[in-house]
Structure 1
Amino acid sequence: MARQLRPVELEFVDEAPVRLVFAATLSARPSAVYTALAEDTADWPRWFTAVTAARSTDGGAGREVRLKGGTVFTESVLVREPVRRYTYRVEQTNAPGLRALVEEWTITATPAGSRVRWTFAADGPAPLRAALRLGRVGLGRAFREAMRNLDRRLAAPGT
């Protein structure tokens, strides 16, 4: 059953009790990376294997994302800075224990392409916070795999 999360604001990205930050370098241009993250929502399962379905809602102001294992997130987009930043807050989820969750993707141009940073900012009871910190390795692995997949996808002809 979906539960309503605390409606935190943008500063939560920097102030959350749990902040997991991951970064990767891609050969793709920042504009292509931004488009994949913020505009081609339905394509997320093609490159982020933890995602089984994703769709834009409310005319692009929100998203619904389904993960392997059955977790569902209903999200509101907080920031759209084309080619630079994409941030969203989870409004509802069936994930146990979460009280608040914001994810932020920032993209920086590099001489060889892009540098992508993903910040996973969360709050919940102490056992959940500990589990998230312990899960850093797995989340990092999923992020790096997703970025490799995305970079290959963006380099492929016709995408």
Structure 2
Amino acid sequence: MTRWFELEPVDKTFFDTATYREKYSMELPVDSGRVWAGFTSESPMTWCKLITTGRYTSPIDGIGTTRDIELAGGVLRLREYFFDWDDTTRHHSFFVRQANLPLFRAFAEDYHLADTPNGCRFTWSFAYEPKPGLGLIHKASAFPTRLMLSSLAADTAKHFGGTSATRLPRG
């Protein structure tokens, strides 16, 4: 039986205030609707090598939607809650409610799609705070964490025919 650790809920301000923030942008030569469909399908983000499984645990219905994600063969499991969702602008954000490893005080992601003349731009933001007492461990693991997040972004760019995912400066 999996032991679950509670994380703190956050809102949009967390993407500006979290100690650890990563943001990736990619130009994709496909319609934003196709990318949005990949994130909101019953099995989201199957193209990401690190994601073992992903499934929505509630109706895919906007704010209040919940999802479970397993990474690295189930080593890391996350239960997510969507606190922002707009099908019209193809934008949503979630925070992790529970994780099977006690690594984070809070963790959130933001997905934003914008149409461009040649397809769309996808901006993917990550924000997190380590559990109290784990700050030094997170500082030491910043590079592996960045590799994990950049792998998710690179897999997404590749899947939708983009050439790369650019890590944006913090701020």
**TM-score, L = length of structure 1:** 0.85
What does 1:1-150 correspond to in 2, within 5 Å?
A: 1-37=3-39, 39-45=40-46, 47-60=47-60, 61-69=65-73, 70-82=75-87, 83-124=89-130, 125-131=134-140, 133-134=142-143, 135-149=145-159
Unaligned stretches of 5+ residues in structure 2: 162-171
Equivalences, count: 149
Unaligned stretches of 5+ residues in structure 1: 153-159
- CA distance in 1 between counterparts of 2:123 and 2:137 reads 23
Q: How far apart are 1:138 and its partner, in Å?
A: 4.1
- CA distance in 1 between counterparts of 2:42 and 2:157 reads 15
Q: How far apart are 1:95 and its partner, in Å?
A: 2.8
CA RMSD of aligned residues (A): 1.7
Q: How far apart are 1:147 and its partner, in Å?
A: 2.3
Q: How far apart are 1:128 and its partner, in Å?
A: 4.3
- CA distance in 1 between counterparts of 2:137 and 2:8 reads 15
Aligned to 2:168: none
When residues 80 and 132 of structure 1 are mapped into structure 2, their CA distance, relative to the original with a 3 A threshold, is: farther
Deviation beyond 6 Å, 4+ runs, structure 1: none
Q: Say if 1:17 and 1:129, in contact at 8 Å, map to a contact too.
A: no
* SS in structure 2 of the partner of residue 55 of structure 1: strand
**TM-score, L = length of structure 2:** 0.79
Identity %: 23
Query: Which sits farther off after the overlay, 11-20 or 79-88?
Result: 79-88
